[in-house]
Each structure stands twice: as C-alpha cells, then as structure tokens.
Structure 1
Amino acid sequence: MSTTKLKVIGGRIGIANAFARMPFRFGVVTMEAAASATLELEVFVDGKPVLGYASDLLAYKWFDKRPEKTPADNVADLLWVVEEALAVARNLPEGSLFTLWRQLDEEVDRRAVAAGFNRLGASFGVSMVERATIDALGRATGQSFFDMVRGNAFGIDGGAVFPELAGMSPASILAEKPLERIGLRHTVGLVDPIEAGDIASADRLDDGLPETLADYIEQDDLSYLKIKIAGDPTSDMARLERIAGLMDRIGRAFALTLDGNEQYSRLEEFAALMDAIRGNPALDRFYDAILFIEQPLERSVALSAPLDPRALKTIGKPLLIDEADGWTSAYHEATALGYHGVSHKNCKGVIRSLLNAMLAETRNRQTGPGVYFQSAEDLTCLPVVSLQADLAVVAALGITHVERNGHHYFHGLEHLPAREAEAALAAHPDLYRREGSSIVTAINGGALDIASLQVPGMGFACLPDLGQRTRAADWTFDSLNKSDAGHAGTGD
C-alpha cells in the first residue's frame, strides 16, 4: 500500500480551439470545431511541489444530450464542473491518491446533481483533477503509469468500494509488461464518406490524409472498425450494406463494433435492427465480425431494469455500457442486469477503469475468461496530453485495440503550437511522423506503436505551455466559429 501523501494546492485551465478537417456526426450533433481544455495542477507530493497535466475536448452533446441544452451550455457546464472539482480538491487534506479520489468523486457527484448537471458530467470534472494528480505523482517519483499501478502507488483498496474486491491487488489485472502496440479501431461516423463517389470533387480536402473509409482501410491497413448507428432502420440498413459491400470487395478479415449512441428507448427496437441484419444474406460476414454492441439504450433507461433475455438472444452479441457508466458503481450494477462490458475512457475516470477491470476479472473467475470485458473507446482524444494519457492507460489495461478518431477528424498536430508539435515528434517518434509540412499520428499496419509512452507520469514526455492557451475566464464559445483564426496555439 502506498505511503506517498499528496495535497492539491491549485490549478489553472487553458483553452484552445481545434477546428475539424471534416465534420464528425455522432448521435444528433455534427461537430466541426471544439474547445480543448488543459489543466495544469500544482500538487505537493510528500511535501514537494510538482506540476501535473490533463487535457480533453469539451465535447458538447455527449456528456449531456438534453435538447434544451445548447452546445454552448454544455461547454459552460463542463468548465464549471472542472472548476468545482478543483475547488473541492484544494480543500481536501493530505492523503493517498485513492483517498483523495474517493472524497473528490463523492463530493463532485453530489454538487453536480444538486446543480442540475448529471453524473457523467461530474465524472469528467473528477477525472481531469484525478489524471493531473496521477501525472504529478509519476513525475515526482519517476514512475510510468504502468509502474504506478503495478506497485499500487495510488493506494487502491478495491474492497473499500466493492466487497468482492477485498484483498485484490490492481497489479493482478496487469500483464507482465504494458502493450507496446495497439490496434486502431477506426470510427465510421454517421456522415463519413464511404467511397470516393460520396465526395464532390469541389469538396475534397486534398490535405495529404485519407478522406473516405476506403482510403483509410487501404492506406492505414485497418483491421478494426467502429460503426455508429443513427437509430433509423432504413438508413442504417442501407449504410451498413454499403460498408459490408466495401469490406467484401477488399476481402480482408475485419473485426467490428457497433455504437448505438443511446438511440433507443427499448431494447426490443434495437433487437429488431439486429434481427434484420442477421436475416440479410449480404450482411452475413458483417454480423459474424461484430465483437460487441456499445450503449444502444438511452442512459435514463439503460440501467433501469434487467435486459430482456429474448431481445438479448435476438441480438446475439454482448452489450456494454458507455454513457451509462456515469458513476463509480455503474458497471457493477450493469453486470447484474445482463450487460457484459464497459468502456474505458479517461474522461470518465482512471481509477474507475482500474476498478472496472478488477470487477470483470472477478466475474470471469466464475464464468470463464472473456465473458465480462472492458473495451477502449474514444472521446476524440487529440495529441499530445489527452491522446497519450489515454493510450498509456489502455496499454496498462492490456486492451489490444482502441477506438481512435482524432487522427481522422482533425489534421494531425496542427491544433498545437509548432514548438509543442515538434517536441512531441522528438520525444515520441514511434507515435508521430511527418507528412509534408505537418506532423501527424503514425499508423503502421493498422496499429499505433506506443513504447515511448513509458515515461514518468501519464505517458507524455513533452509538456503543454498554458501561456499559449486562453484562460478559461477569457474564452468564449463564439470563438469556435472563427475557422479562419489559424491553427497555431489552437489545441491540446
């Protein structure tokens, strides 16, 4: 058990705008620009001051999908909850990281619900402070994320949260060493062009990166795809048939996941779509390639009752929770209702993901390996801090493929100041490469090479410069409309 004591002193948030190279539609919103928030946190580690960092897009219409909330409202709420988490953390007494996290998690969850926000949004505020604190701890002690988990530098006591985890060490869920290579599961968004004919010649980007799904499969040698579903049976079937036809023509083996995006209020409605897929001979290979289904049910009903066994039999693939994983015990509750999987996303919490991995392991000791599982999903993690911190956790958890879409919807590292992009390439030449005048994420044989992430902290050796970002108090949502503002200093 860790004896390292931490005390959060304070922090500041810097914001920069990232403009998409192509629109990204998920659920009911199409994103063309987003704000990236970076938190710089000062932490006393055994009495010595250290800085730690965390970063994520302020993703509107994901944490809170209520129609009465505008995207600007969503971003304001996310900034508010990070500030609340900072205020709570500053007032906590010195303690182990696990002790601080439990108190922070409970109080921010309470404040968010009382203020009319939601528990998933509360998790985001907690996770930003949690990740920056972990980063500071690693930098102070010279340990990578994997090493910290292996030695339980966080002081995690799983039995204090879930009795069945009593006596279980976080190290028990780790492989002998972290993954050095992870398969890239490419997001196929709802308005993504499938083949060249989907893009008018005048609309082609010609920016040196692939544009269509066919381009990506060919140039990046993809083996994994994540396909989003709109919730309209007619359009979904037509789109899935086109994707399946492309896969059949390529003739290579693929593994797929489907993302329901909370588009259904009843599991029977989603089961009807899956029944149609299973009954369509053109989709036989497509169906066989599906690994799991992500969050088809809207979060307000996803955990309200046990899943209908008849619908589950019709679906024939395991279901996992994503947006419904909004509080620490959500996956524990979900497994009792018929779900098998849960997504890892740093934006929901790192210690939560470690606890969920431990829960899956305890379930599988009774059912057999692989029945309960953790996937790795994306909230458009952009380089450097957000992407690399998430990959460092995925590598430690041993999840062999991860959804990634920042390489697709944004143009490499152009959202960063040039100095930071160059520093990232120098420090992590396995993960990035030059493409013309740009620095982009390097995809080799459909995978990401990430051995260089085993550095002190949360997986990134080069640090962000908050002087190149806008103070949260000075930033406005309207600035996202200024796509001609240039890229320098506009990102992570």
Structure 2
Amino acid sequence: MPEAGGAPKLRVLAVDVFERPFRLRMPFRFGLHTLTQARQALVRVTIELEGGRVATGYSAEVLLPKWFDKRPEFTPEDNENQLRQSLRNAARAYMDERGKTAFGLFADTYRALMEAGAAADLPPLAAGYGAALLDRAIFDAICREWRVGFWDAMRHNLPGMKRHAVVADLDGFDVPLFLRELQPVRTLHARHTVGMLDPLDTSDTPAPDAPQDGLPVTLQDVIDTYGNTYFKLKLCGEADRDIARLVDIARVLDRLPSPYVATLDGNEQYADAQSLVEFCRRMEATPALRRLQASTLFIEQPIARTRAMDVPVDAIAAFKPLLLDESDGTLETFPRGKARGYQGVSSKSCKGFYKSLVNRARCAQWNLEAGRPMYFMSAEDLIIQPGISLQQDLALASLLGIDHIERNGHHYVDRFAATPQAEARALAAAHPDLYNASPAPALKIHRGCIDVDSCGLAEGFGTAVVPETNHAADLSWQA
C-alpha cells in the first residue's frame, strides 16, 4: 500500500456498461410513479496505474426512472436514456485525463460534467450519475489491485482526498485525519420501506397478483420474518390521505412491544412549507399517531426540489428535522440547505461516494462549531440490488457511521432476480454474514439488522467477487 499521502495516480483505459433487466415481485409506489420493472447498469472500468499496472473494477446501480428527473414530459425510457448519457459524458471526461488520483479525477472533472449535463437538459442528479458509478468502479479497481478492503483503503486515503476548489468550504478541514478517525459501524438496522401501495396486514384485501413466493408481502409479514424495528414511511403530499395512511400503519407498528423508529419520506409531494406545517400539526394532534410521532426521527425531502430552497424551513424543523434527498444534486446543496434550516442530507451511492464523504466531513465541522450534534446524514435506498451495488452502499454507510439504512430492493424484487445464479452463489459463499445461501441466496436480516463486516473487509470495494458480464448481460455497450 502506498505511504500516507501517496495515493496512486491513474488513467482510465476503458469503460464498459452491461444492463440487466428485472421485474419487481410487487409494485412499488413512490411519489407519482409506480415501478413494476427496471434495469440495472453494471459498469466495468479498466485503469492503468503508474508503472504500467492494469486493474479492473466494477460498480452497479439501477437506471431508475422518475427519481433523477420527475418532469412529466419525460417517459421512463427517456429517463433511462438520460442516465446512459450521463455515463457516456463521465467516461469521455475521465478518459481525457491523465496522472490523477481517484479523487483528483472526480474533483477536476466535476464542474465540466455538471455543465455538460445542463447542456443536455439533465438535472444535476442525473448529470452526476455517471461519475458516481465510475468513481466506485475505479476505486474498486484500486482496492482489488492493492488487495485491501474499502475501510482500510479509506483509512489510508487511497483516493487522495484533500482540499479542492469544488469543496472550498472545507479549506480549513483536515480531510486525511478525518478519514483516519472514521469508525465503521459493523451492524446496521435495516429501515424497511413502506410504499404507498403496500398491504399492511391480513385486514387488507390481497391483490389478485400478490406474489406467492414465500417472501414477506405485508408490513406485518416483514416484521414477523425479519424482526425490523426501523421503518421508512412514504407520504403522498395530501394531508388527509397521509394522516389516514399513517393511522393504519401505526395500528401495525404500535403492536411492537419494544421501541421502534420511523422516518417520513415526502418524495417532493408537498406543495410548499406551509402545507407541510399543517400536516405536522395534524399529525401531532391525532391521538392514534402519538407513538408514531414520538418515534419519528426526521422528514425526508417533502418539498419539490425546484422549491425546496425558496423559503426558510425553520417552522417545519420545529416539529422534526428536515433531510435533503432529491434536492442534493450538487456539492453545494447541503451548505445552501443548512442556510435554509435543513439539518440532514442523504447518502445514496447513486449520488457519489465522494459527495457522501464530503457531506459527512461537513457534519463533523458544523457540529463542532455548534457544540452539539445538530447536523446529520441518513442512508437511503434506490431499489438497490444484491451484489456489488448493495455491498458498496453498505460499506459506505457503515464507514460514515450511520447505524440504520433504508433497504427495499430485497423486498420489492425477488432476491437475486437481476443476477446470474453462479454469481449469486459466489456472493453468498464469500459473504455468509450478509446472505443466506438456501433455499436460494438472499439478503440476511436478523432481528432487524444486517451484518456488514465482509463488505468493508473484502479485497475490493464491497466484494472481491467478479460480476458476470458475458451471456448474463441483456445489453452491453462501451461508454
């Protein structure tokens, strides 16, 4: 491993993308969109390191429609093409650079990629998607070549993170010391997503096409099977419907004899701050929601990204802290949100792991200045599929010190549905703490928790298993 301060320099030789289609086992309603099928992008990046050594790394992420760009004039297919364009933009920009560290490659191309995205009418979230996948694949290649796990690689600052103009607010912050002092959380609470169409218990009329695969379907099934005590509850943006839905959910959650924890996800559905204040007042005034309200940690992105920063949100934050998610399209978002009264920001691997680390450093700095833990990060999901995508996301959240993480990909999709069987078996064998091997490989959640040691310690970013990229890929192309 290089000496401290000696992060390896590299150039990108090739970027290949493979796509794996999959169907959901039950529909997932978030915001105004109901998802029934999707595609996962699997990225392979080949790099050349100093001295001529060649290494290969991987990353994966769902090409999720109606999240990166929710404009109604764009179809789901349009949204997928936007993300493919973002991958091509990032590949061209990265292959034009030479002799950069992994972080230097990200930071030095960041503004140009944001501008290229804007020129192609890509929202900032979509514009950053390509770099987010390439950065993970590049760092995976470095970890594999040095035969080191993600946690140790970050502790030794193998990406070469340091002060840079794109994060000028951290000029006085000791980034290498910050990385050395991070303490990974080895066991994470799985925060189960309750979508707006999800049945809650046996009192709900089963859908005619409800899955018959032996996996949990209702919220009560999930609790009985996995033992979850952390939950993420989707809102629709209409106070009457949201209060009624939360009362129904509370009827199930309040049966738990032990404490539970909840977060509320607005998915940009509330029109403005005042309508959300009214919702919060009604929630506080509803007796059936007393325990749920007391158990709620924060409200995630309730206002549309185009209006989220228009006015201060202190009146809402007086009820519960607010967290930025869809608004978090650029490196400048969290400081802007802080000035408006937002206290939290999400870590999502599709938004880039360097952005997550930068925002975690900001939380550390701001909390030190405030003299108390005001600012925080959460870990959120994007229908993340088992395998390298899930494992990179878990390794990152653990390193950030976040002890609970939204998990929904294992619930809405049948286990390793997008993964070739041989690869699934190899992953289950290499990560017995994370997956059950039989009757079919599947994410292991025990007493509501996920063990993530093997994700952070494996020789690679999340895993040493090499994903299959030949006949199992439905579509392959070079970025």
Listed as ranges, the matches of 1:288-303 within 5 Å are 288-303=294-309
Task: State the number of aligned residues.
Answer: 470
1-side partners of 2:92 and 2:164: how far apart?
A: 28
- Residue 85 of structure 1 pairs with residue 90 of structure 2: yes
2-side partners of 1:446 and 1:143: how far apart?
A: 29
Q: 2:351 aligns with which of 340, 348, 352?
A: 348
Listed as ranges, the matches of 1:40-439 within 5 Å are 40-46=44-50, 47-158=52-163, 160=165, 161-172=167-178, 177-200=183-206, 202-307=208-313, 309-313=314-318, 316-436=319-439, 438-439=440-441
Deviation at 1:103, TM superposition (A): 2.1
Deviation at 1:180, TM superposition (A): 1.9
Deviation at 1:198, TM superposition (A): 1.9
Q: Is the 8 A contact 2:238 2:270 kept in 1?
A: no
Q: Is the 8 A contact 2:26 2:210 kept in 1?
A: no
Task: Tell me the SS of whatever aligns to 2:174.
Answer: coil
1-side partners of 2:260 and 2:25: how far apart?
A: 26
Task: Please tell me the residue identity of whatever aligns with 1:94.
Answer: G
Q: Deviations over 1:35-64 (max 9, x none)?
A: 000010001122311011110000000000
Task: Please tell me the residue identity of whatever aligns with 1:178.
Answer: P
Q: Is the 8 A contact 2:40 2:62 kept in 1?
A: yes
CA change 1:166–1:380 in 2 (3 A) is same
2-side partners of 1:346 and 1:118: how far apart?
A: 17
CA change 1:408–1:95 in 2 (3 A) is same
Q: Is the 8 A contact 1:159 1:167 kept in 2?
A: no
CA change 1:113–1:206 in 2 (3 A) is same
CA change 1:163–1:242 in 2 (3 A) is closer
2-side partners of 1:310 and 1:100: how far apart?
A: 41
CA change 1:224–1:165 in 2 (3 A) is farther
Task: Please tell me the residue identity of whatever aligns with 1:64.
Answer: D
CA change 1:156–1:473 in 2 (3 A) is closer
CA change 1:124–1:251 in 2 (3 A) is same
User: TM-score, length-normalised on structure 2?
Assistant: 0.95
User: TM-score, length-normalised on structure 1?
Assistant: 0.92
CA change 1:199–1:232 in 2 (3 A) is same
**Aligned residue number for residue 14 of structure 2:** 10
Task: Tell me the SS of whatever aligns to 1:13.
Answer: strand
Q: Is the 8 A contact 1:6 1:44 kept in 2?
A: yes
Q: Is the 8 A contact 2:6 2:158 kept in 1?
A: yes
Q: Is the 8 A contact 2:14 2:47 kept in 1?
A: yes
CA change 1:205–1:199 in 2 (3 A) is farther
Deviation at 1:261, TM superposition (A): 0.2
1-side partners of 2:101 and 2:182: how far apart?
A: 25
Q: Deviations over 1:194-230 (max 9, x none)?
A: 1123243754423121110011112111110000101
Q: 1:39 aligns with which of 43, 67, 87?
A: 43
Deviation at 1:255, TM superposition (A): 0.5
Task: Tell me the SS of whatever aligns to 2:378.
Answer: strand
Deviation at 1:173, TM superposition (A): 5.6
**Aligned residue number for residue 477 of structure 1:** none
Deviation at 1:311, TM superposition (A): 3.9
Q: Deviations over 1:293-328 (max 9, x none)?
A: 100110011123432x33433xx1100100100011
**Aligned residue number for residue 462 of structure 2:** 459
Q: Is the 8 A contact 2:268 2:301 kept in 1?
A: yes
**Alpha carbon RMSD of aligned pairs, Å?**
1.6
Q: Deviations over 1:343-391 (max 9, x none)?
A: 0001001111101000010000022342100110011110101100100
Determine what percentage of the aligned residue pairs are the same residue: 36
Deviation at 1:128, TM superposition (A): 0.9
Listed as ranges, the matches of 1:16-31 within 5 Å are 16-31=20-35
CA change 1:167–1:175 in 2 (3 A) is closer
2-side partners of 1:406 and 1:194: how far apart?
A: 18
Deviation at 1:158, TM superposition (A): 3.6
1-side partners of 2:41 and 2:29: how far apart?
A: 21
2-side partners of 1:56 and 1:266: how far apart?
A: 31
Task: Please tell me the residue identity of whatever aligns with 1:464.
Answer: P
Task: Tell me the SS of whatever aligns to 2:254.
Answer: helix
Deviation at 1:4, TM superposition (A): 1.1
Task: Please tell me the residue identity of whatever aligns with 2:94.
Answer: A
CA change 1:472–1:272 in 2 (3 A) is farther
Task: Please tell me the residue identity of whatever aligns with 2:101.
Answer: S
Unaligned runs of 5+ in 1: 475-492
